[in-house]
Structure formats: C-alpha cells, structure tokens
Amino acid sequence: MSKQETRTERDSMGTVEVPADALYGAQTQRAVDNFPVSGLSMPAGFIHALGHVKAACARANAALGALDADVAKAIDDAARAVAEGDHDTQFPVDVFQTGSGTSSNMNANEVIARLASEHLGATVHPNDHVNRGQSSNDVVPTAIHVSARLALVNGLLPAMEHLAAVLEGRATELKDVVKTGRTHLMDAMPVTLGQEIGGWARQIRSGIHRLEQSGEGLLELALGGTAVGTGVNAEPGFARLVAEELQQTTGEVFRSKPDFFEGMSAQDTAVEVSGQLRTVAVSLMKIANDLRWMNSGPLAGLGEISLPSLQPGSSIMPGKVNPVIPEAVAMVAAQVMGNDATVAVAGQSGNFQLNVMLPVIAHNLLQSTELLANASRLLADRAVAGFTVNEARLREALDRNPILVTALNPIIGYEQGAAIAKKAYAEGRAVIDVALEQTDLPEAELRRLLDPGKMV
C-alpha cells in the first residue's frame, strides 16, 4: 500500500500505517497485521453489542461526572451508530486474536473515538474517554452476554416457536393417520402421524424451555470489574448505571454480576447456553433424519411422505429429487455440536482472573445461535409445512405388519403370537388371515383386536 493510500497513526508503541479511509487507528491495525489467521472477523452481533455497551458507559460516566456532557453525547451517538450496524466494515480484527479480546475492544474504542471527534470538532481519546471506567477484561465478557442474549430472544427463540407451532399444526392435521411405528428401524406397533410429529414438537418446546432458563444467566454482566474484578478506575455506582442504561436501549433486564471475579475469570454461563444449543441441534438432527427416512424412495424406500420438491437432486440422474432441507439442517446440527466442543474447551481457559479464549467463545456461541435460528425456519417452512402423506403406502405396510399380533398376547400368549407373526411374515400374508387359521377366535373379534386404529 502506497503512502498516498495510508495515514500515520501513533499509539504507545510508536507509529503505524493505517488505511487512509479507515475509522480505526493504530491498535486495530497492529491486530490486523498480527493475526492473519482465518479471515473471520468478529460476529456482527458482537460488534453491535460493543456499541450498546460503549454508549451505555458514556451515559453512565456523564451521569457520574466522569465525562463532560458534550464528550459523552458525542461518544453515545457514535456508539449507537456502531450498535445499529452502520460501521460493520470498520471491524476487521480476526476472531483468532488476543484471548482477552483487547484488540476488538480497542477497535471499537478507536472507531467510536474518531466518529465522536469528527462530530464534536475536538479530540475524543479511545482510552481516556471511550474506554473510561472500563477494561477489555470486563467489556468483552459483557459484550458476549449482551450479544448472546439479544441473539437468543430476537432470533433463535422466535424461530423455534415458529417451528414448534408448524409441527403442532401438522400433528393436529394428521392425528387420525395411522402408520407403522418403528423401533431399531424395524416394524413395531402402530402410531399416528400426529403422535409422531407431536413428539418432535415436544422436543422443540423442551428446547425452548431449556434455553429460556439458561438464557437468564446472560442478563448478568461483568462490566464494573475492570482489570481483575476489583473495579479499579471505575466510579462507584458505574456498573449499576451501565446495566440500567442497557435496559433502556435493549429492552432486556441486564444487571451486574453478583461477583465480578467469577464474571471475568469464568465463562460458565456461555458454556451452559452452548450446551443447550447443542441439545437443540440434537433435536433438529433427529427430526431431520426421521423426515429423510420417511421420504426415502420413492420406490425402494419407505415412501411414507413426499417432501416438497425444491431442486434437481443429481447432475447425472434425471428426475432425482433429494431431501435437501433436512440434509442442510443436519449439517447445521453437526456444526453446532462442534461449536459446543470449542466453547467447552475455551470455557476452561479461565486462568486466575481472566478467561483468555473470549473471542472464540463469542464467535461459536453466536454462530450456533444464528445457524439454529435459520435452520429452524427452513425446516418449518420448506419441509414440515409442505410435505404430503402417501396414505396408501402407509396402509399397505400397516396391513402386512406382523407386529400387530402383539394385541393378541393377553388372549393367546406370546409364544403363539410369535408363531403367527413369523408365519405371516414368511408367507407375506396379513396377520388376521393367519390368526384365523391358528386360533379359535371369531373373525369379528380378531378384526376388533387387530384394528390398528384401536392400538394408538
């Protein structure tokens, strides 16, 4: 990059060349130069949360007399613009950076300071003003909680509610459609499609409940602990005021951590939430795989349902259509499970007074939340809502299911029932036909006992 395309910025380590049109300064540029690792910058939700936190800190500092009102107002306005996503391109620091996230905190401080300085017509300092009463060590854990909480309540939970509602609607619609149940992938006693889909819906409802419970912990913020948890350089009452200001701008009832040492040295809440995200991923993979099996065929598979045809399924086999949405959802689930493993390893990296894998926790936690939200809506709208039921196929399989003989066990006993089932299977005959030959039960009684609709 030539001199004409850069400007010289200075920090405590000396000078560094920064792109001429960049809002950030020397410390951000050093991080860009030091961490050319993945090309993944910090998630937008995390950057927006930093904006919310910096704005709240400016207002709290002004209220406590720690910042002049005009400086605080300029910082507040600039930070709100960051929170709104107006300057996302000005946050180039790689996820794999310093473990405290100091580079991302200083990136925010520098961008906000420059915007505030331009608006105010006077110098606003990244550390002395924007970072007043703060440390990367309490700002970054706070931004993790704020961003994860907002992603949860504004993104994932509504998406899961939508999926649960769609599943419940289909369960009601198909409550009288009887099919062969399966255990071990083998024919078992009958169930209704409504019961089967209702089980999926309950999985999602349970996932919502678990996330709501664990998500409560995200409302507790480490801000106020500053460098090591003691609150050095923060005004008395600063942490409480910041939490109150965040409530006003986000609508979430944030509050200070009861113990800043725990809030900065450990990321147990993030680990817990990630674990619940993994549980949701497990549920989605189970549902996706059930749909794939039920849709399999159309001739040589189960063929119980037909998922919506969305795109050609093969570059060589004309007419082939694949269950692409369940496959995409299953891949999302696999990614989330891997993300959770990363969060767990990162969570145990709290050495004494600080966790030193904060950026990768933020990245994986927010990516999992976003992926699950998108996958939930896709599964609901492009798979569950539109599949059709092949009732003739269900009926054919049900009529020939030898396991129906289980209903006769209390009358004829397990051993005779097993003999009837084996004979029916071996000869490809209906259970009732064999039972008429092998028992003294009247046909009307057998038809009543072997009616699949009475067994569900």
The closest alpha carbon to 98, from 365, 360, 367, belongs to: 360
Q: Return the percentage of the chain with pLDDT > 90, whole number.
A: 95
Tokens coding 202: 């309950």
**Residue 384 confidence (pLDDT) above 90:** yes
In order of 178, 287, 313, the CA distances from 164 in angstroms are 22, 12, 28
pLDDT in tens, 214-229: 999 999 999 999 999 9
Tokens coding 190: 């009958």
Tokens coding 439: 């028992």
Positive or negative: CA dihedral 362, 365, 366, 368: positive
Distance CA 224, CA 414 (A): 69
Q: Which pLDDT value is given to residue 420? A: 92
Q: Which pLDDT value is given to residue 4? A: 60
Q: Out of 2, 12, 184, 315, which one is annotated catalytic?
A: 184
**Residue 30 confidence (pLDDT) above 90:** yes
**Residue 1 confidence (pLDDT) above 50:** no
Contact 195, 203 (CB under 8 A): no
**Residue 334 confidence (pLDDT) above 60:** yes
Q: Out of 38, 209, 309, 314, which one is annotated catalytic?
A: 314
**Residue 433 confidence (pLDDT) above 50:** yes
82: alpha, beta or left, given left = phi > 0 and alpha = psi -120 to 50?
alpha
Question: Could you tell me which residue, 230 or 1, shows the higher pLDDT?
Answer: 230
Contact 105, 223 (CB under 8 A): no
The end-to-end CA distance of the chain, in Å, is 73
Q: Which pLDDT value is given to residue 428? A: 87
Distance CA 92, CA 77 (A): 22
pLDDT in tens, 105-136: 999 999 999 999 999 999 999 999 999 999 99
Q: Which amino acid is at 225?
A: G
The mean pLDDT of 321-326, rounded to a whole number, is 97
Q: Note the pTM of the prediction, 2 decimals.
A: 0.96
> 314 catalytic, yes or no?
yes
Positive or negative: CA dihedral 131, 133, 137, 141: negative
**Residue 2 confidence (pLDDT) above 70:** no
| Beta carbons within 8 Å of 64's beta carbon, 6+ residues apart | 235, 237, 238, 241
3-class secondary structure for the chain? CCHHHEEEEEECCEEEEEECCCCCCHHHHHHHHHCCCCCCECCHHHHHHHHHHHHHHHHHHHHCCCCCHHHHHHHHHHHHHHHCCCCHHHCCCECCCCCCCHHHHHHHHHHHHHHHHHHHCCCCCHHHHHCCCCCHHHHHHHHHHHHHHHHHHHHHHHHHHHHHHHHHHHHHHCCCCEEEEEECCEEEEEEEHHHHHHHHHHHHHHHHHHHHHHHHHHHEECCCCCCCCCCCCCCCCHHHHHHHHHHHHHCCCCEECCCHHHHHHCCHHHHHHHHHHHHHHHHHHHHHHHHHHHHCCCCCCCCCEECCCCCCCCCCCCCCCCCHHHHHHHHHHHHHHHHHHHHHHHHCCEECCEECCHHHHHHHHHHHHHHHHHHHHHHHHHHHCCCEECHHHHHHHHHCCHHHHHHHHHHHCHHHHHHHHHHHHHHCCCHHHHHHHHCCCCHHHHHHHCCHHHCC
Q: Which pLDDT value is given to residue 386? A: 98
**Residue 31 confidence (pLDDT) above 80:** yes
The mean pLDDT of 260-289, rounded to a whole number, is 98
pLDDT in tens, 405-421: 999 999 999 999 999 99
Strands 305-306 and 255-256: unpaired
Q: Which pLDDT value is given to residue 327? A: 98
**Residue 3 confidence (pLDDT) above 80:** no
